Every structure is written in C-alpha cells, then in structure tokens.
Amino acid sequence: MRNVYLVTAFLVVLALSVLGLRGTLFTRPPLDVFPDWAFPSMRNQSKYKHQASSRFFADGRADRPLPPGVVATSYGPAGQPLRNDDVLYTGKDASGAFVARLPASVPVDRKLLERGQQSYTIYCAPCHGALGDGNGITKQYGMGATPTYHDDRLRRIADGDLYNTITHGKNNMLSYADKLKPEERWAVIAYVRALQRAQAGTVADVPEVNKAELGIK
C-alpha cells in the first residue's frame, strides 16, 4: 500500500511539474538545470539587440550607422537574394495587378522550357497530366476536379495569376513555394504556355522552311 501512495505522489508531482505552470508568465530567466559551462548557449552571451541602447557609444545607440561609401547589394547577410523585384517574386506590378507575361528578368529560351518541363513533370503532371489536360494519375484515385489548361479561362489567365497559384496554392492544390524557386515557378508557367500552344497549333503555324520535314506541301 505504501508503494501505491509513493507512486501516486510521484505522478501528482510530475503532472504539476509538466502541466501546472503552463501559460504562466515569468519575469526572471528560466532555471538552467544543465548549464553548459564550457560552451555557454547563445541566450546567455552578452550581446546587443536591435534598436537597444548602449553606454559604450557616445550616441547611446547599439545600432551603428553605416560607414561612408557603403553600396547596397542585391544579396542579404546570409547570401540570399533580396526580394527587390516585385514582378519576379510576387507576379504583380507596382499597382498590385497580376502581370500578363513573364518578367523581363526571366528570358524565355530553350533552357528555361527544359527546366520548366522537368519541374512540371515532377510536381504538376501527377494531377494535371503530361499534356496539361487534367488527366493525371491522381484522377484514377478519385481526384476528378483537376482543371485542364486548355480551356479558354486558363488560356487567357495572366501569367502572374498562375505564379500566385503556384506560390500560395488554390482550392485542393497546396503551395509549391517550398519546392520551386521563383525562377523555377516562372519556368513551369513558360512550359504550361508551350503545352497550350502545342495543343492549339495548326499547319499554318509551321514555318515554311520546316513544312517539308513534316511532309506538308
């Protein structure tokens, strides 16, 4: 019986320790049960925080002004590009409207289309199909609401709108921003436009110098 009391007391103390103080605000630093004396953690190191004060500098500010002659760079401290191109990173112009075509910083060439084809095959074809007609493999498993890129609505939709859908997702489609870089999203859009163009192509679209290759007179 004594063991039962001891076990019960232990469980009560354990429950209170884990759950009893949840949500409580403390004004003192937390107790460091296992301090790392050899390599103190970052939270315990002396450091200045953003916009904090400092008695070391004459102006009393911890943040220091930039030295004369500093030139702005397109890359941040971690080596990542700064998002200083709204069209490239959002698909919208200065007015907030979706851009009709790919940004000028993303030239459309064979390399871009091949890059777009690769990403499309990996991420888009399972639902939208290799031809962009909505007949991907997922349709065989009950997902029948995938639209075709070859209807008039999606032929006329702005490229920026497609970019926004890839970035943020829409309806059952989740965001692919964690899988495709901005330039890769534009490459996918360029490839989708190529699929649309191929679907609606006619003999009249074939250049005269290439018609003989297709047996066209």
pLDDT in tens, 109-168: 999 999 999 999 999 999 999 999 999 998 888 877 888 999 999 999 999 999 999 999
Tell how many helices (H) and how many strands (E) occur in the chain.
8, 0
* Per-residue pLDDT tens digits for 158-204: 999 999 999 999 988 999 999 999 999 999 999 999 999 998 888 88
Structural domains in the chain, CATH included, are 88-203 (1.10.760.10)
Q: Is pLDDT of 90 > 80? A: yes
Beta-bridge mates of residue 102: none
Query: What 8-state DSSP symbol labels residue 43?
Result: G
Query: Coil, helix or strand for 75?
Result: strand
pLDDT of residue 159: 97
Alpha carbons 197 and 184: distance in angstroms, whole number: 20
Q: Give the phi and the psi of residue 98 in degrees, each rounded to 5.
A: -65, 135
| Amino acid at residue number 99 | V
Query: Coil, helix or strand for 61?
Result: strand
Alpha carbons 88 and 163: distance in angstroms, whole number: 9
Average pLDDT over residues 88-100: 93
Among 27-41, 60-74, 186-200, the least confident range: 27-41
CB neighbour list of residue 124: distance below 8 Å, 6 or more residues apart? 188, 192
pLDDT of residue 115: 97
pLDDT of residue 136: 92
